[in-house]
Amino acid sequence: MMDSTDILITGASGFIGKQLCKHLQRSGLDVRAYVRASTVLPDSNGLEIVHGAINDSKALTAAMEGVSSVIHLAGIAHVDGIRHETMEQVNVGGTEAVLAAARQAGVAQIVYVSSALAQAAERRESTATDYGRSKWQAEQRVRECRELAHCILRPVNVYGPGMRGNLGKFISLIGQHRMPPLPPSTARMSLVSVNDVCLAIERALHEEQYQGKTWLLSDGIEYAMSAMEEAIYVVWGRSKPSWYVPRVLLYCAALAGELGNQIVPGYSGPGLRSYRNLFRDSLFDSENNLSKIDLQSTTSFFQELPAIVDHIKSHQQ
């Protein structure tokens, strides 16, 4: 789809964004990173960096000069303590600003990295969250923009060194002896590696079969939460204790965290959403799974876990 190799990545300083910049540069593509004014990208290795807010139309348009493709990653990804209005402003309003600037600058195509949580909003399921609804609304803006070729990617929970979110906190807290053993759980979840997300984005830039469609990104494995917890203890060099915290106490702690998110300025801690993720299946399916077009996962959570823990250790020193 591309006439040149010039690519703009919004949200380039995030977990996926940093890995994607390196991945595309290794593939020989010219990458321009769009990040907030206060952001510094260490070890950028010649990466062209442009500063601006995600809703700054003037800065966005200038950043897209000479760009043929935009990869839109910027948005609120970690939602504990974030108000609904803020998610709307950043995830939906920011996407509208990116699309308007892309049209103004003559960009040819956009790859929008959404979230698997948009699926519940799309299907109007009771499990839909404010975050998922904001990503679904942003997807709709992309689909409605007829001037740009588009591809929408919906990754499930993304793992890899430098990962954040609830699972990243969980791994870190076990290593710090600050996470009590969980009660028995049959919960399972879908995951995908950041490497596979980057590979899918690169292919979406080039391959016609991706265009105009929405694709789920998952490694296809159903991970049992209990097996993941056991593996995390092993990689940290610890034995999992034989005791565990009663589920009701974890719920009370999550409820206290939820209240803290709502009433304490600047506080962001595990709340009821984090609690539910520990005991409820978080599995995703789609007719448009990338395995249908021969994109197979290159790794698994268990294979990447040692590198994830090493990264946490290196940033604790």
CATH number for the domain spanning 76: value is 3.40.50.720
User: Domain for residue 273, yes or no?
Assistant: no
pLDDT of residue 317: 64
User: Domain for residue 307, yes or no?
Assistant: no
User: Domain for residue 235, yes or no?
Assistant: no
**Which structural domain range is residue 205 located in?**
6-159+192-219+285-298
Band of residue 293 on the pLDDT scale cut at 50, 70, 90: low
Residues 49, 252: Cα–Cα separation, whole Å:
45
CB 215 within 8 A of CB 290: yes
Position 2 pLDDT exceeds 90:
no
pLDDT of residue 265: 75
CB 124 within 8 A of CB 132: no
Which two tokens mark 280?
Answer: 């409820």
pLDDT of residue 81: 60
| Strand order, beta sheet including 222-224 | 157-159, 188-193, 222-224
User: Domain for residue 207, yes or no?
Assistant: yes
**17-45: pLDDT as tens digits:** 999 999 999 999 999 999 998 787 766 77
User: Domain for residue 276, yes or no?
Assistant: no
pLDDT of residue 266: 67
**161-213: pLDDT as tens digits:** 999 888 998 999 999 998 899 999 999 999 999 999 999 999 999 999 899 99
**52-84: pLDDT as tens digits:** 999 999 999 999 999 999 999 999 876 666 777
User: Domain for residue 262, yes or no?
Assistant: no
User: Domain for residue 237, yes or no?
Assistant: no
pLDDT of residue 1: 47
Q: How many domains is the chain built from?
A: 1
User: Residue 35: what are its φ and ψ, rounded to 5°?
Assistant: -135, 165
The amino acid at 199:
L
Q: What's the per-residue H, E or C state across the chain? A: CCCCCEEEEECCCCHHHHHHHHHHHHCCCEEEEEECCCCCCCCCCCCEEEECCCCCHHHHHHHCCCCCEEEECCCCCCCCCCCHHHHHHHHHHHHHHHHHHHHHHCCCEEEEECCCCHHHHHCCCCCCCHHHHHHHHHHHHHHHCCCCEEEEEEECEEECCCCCHHHHHHHHHHHCCCCCCCCCCCCEEEEEEHHHHHHHHHHHHHCHHHCCCEEEECCCCEEEHHHHHHHHHHHCCCCCCCCCCCHHHHHHHHHHHHHHHHHCCCCCCCCHHHHHHHHCCECCCCCCEHHHHCCCCCCCHHHHHHHHHHHHHHHHC
Position 3 pLDDT exceeds 80:
no
**109-166: pLDDT as tens digits:** 999 999 999 999 999 999 898 899 999 999 999 999 999 999 999 999 999 999 988 8
User: Domain for residue 265, yes or no?
Assistant: no
CA dihedral of residues 277, 19, 269, 281 (deg, nearest 10): 0
Q: Note the residue count of the chain.
A: 317
